[in-house]
Amino acid sequence: MSDESFDVAYLVLQGDPATSKSRLSAMLSREQRQRLTRYCLERVRGIVGNDNLFMLAENRAAVSEGQLLDIKTIQQHGDDLNSALAAARSAPELCSYQAAIVIPNDLPFLVDLGAHQLGPFDRQCLITPDTHLSGTNLLRVPISFGQPIFSFGLNSFSNHVRAARAQELEVRVAPCPNAMDLDTPNDLILAQEIFPEAELWRLL
């Protein structure tokens, strides 16, 4: 990890463990989905360590997941993720950092964060799209800038690009090694083909 990475906070998005990844319910039981999200948390922690790592926790059950791994948590208020992210950006825990990398908790094959950990941090927005080039798998934003640009949801990749440019941020599309998310049964099938020897399959 470069020294520059200490200017960055890592913010993992953790939903309710009981309902997370519900679109995979046709292929994975509730217990398997919980093991999946915990494995993703452990993988991120293994990459970045605990010092700069935070969790945006949807509820008390999500907070408990973070506490099991000694991850500092920020409690989400309200049901809207993008509003919660905007509020978290101003949280005292994050104010000392130049930038935050938002990491959805469904990237079990992540190896490193690549360009996301390299400066400059003040006027750049880095976006790693999903495999369909429609969603957002990683997002780095400056902590201190104008209006929040968080637009997770349908077509979030293009929405993030548009919102960042409206804030006059330099936008970079940043491919990241193995940042493949698991949202749907098709994603799971494809991942089993691409990563047949992955540790994840032995744990589910």
pLDDT on residue 6: 58
pLDDT digits (tens, 9 = 90+) for 102-119: 999 999 999 999 889 888
Confidence of residue 16 (pLDDT cuts 50, 70, 90): very high
**String of b and e for 1-23 (b: at least 16 CB within 10 Å)?**
eeeebebbbbbbbbbebeebbee
Q: How many domains does the chain divide into? A: 1
Q: Is residue 72 part of a domain?
A: yes
Q: Is residue 204 part of a domain?
A: no
In CATH, what number is assigned to the domain containing residue 93? 3.90.550.10
Q: Is residue 203 part of a domain?
A: no
Query: Whole domain around residue 113: which residue ranges?
Result: 3-198
pLDDT on residue 139: 97
% of the chain with per-residue pLDDT over 90 = 75
Confidence of residue 135 (pLDDT cuts 50, 70, 90): very high
Average pLDDT of every residue of the chain: 91
pLDDT on residue 1: 43
pLDDT digits (tens, 9 = 90+) for 170-185: 999 998 879 999 999 9
Q: Is residue 164 part of a domain?
A: yes
pLDDT digits (tens, 9 = 90+) for 41-66: 999 999 999 999 999 999 999 999 99
Closest by Cα among 10, 132, 117 to 73: 10
Q: Is residue 159 part of a domain?
A: yes
In terms of pTM, does the model score above 0.85? yes
Closest by Cα among 89, 45, 96 to 71: 45
- The answer, yes or no, to whether residue 3 has pLDDT greater than 80, is no
Phi, psi (rounded to 5 degrees) for 177: -55, 125
- The answer, yes or no, to whether residue 84 has pLDDT greater than 70, is yes
pLDDT on residue 123: 86
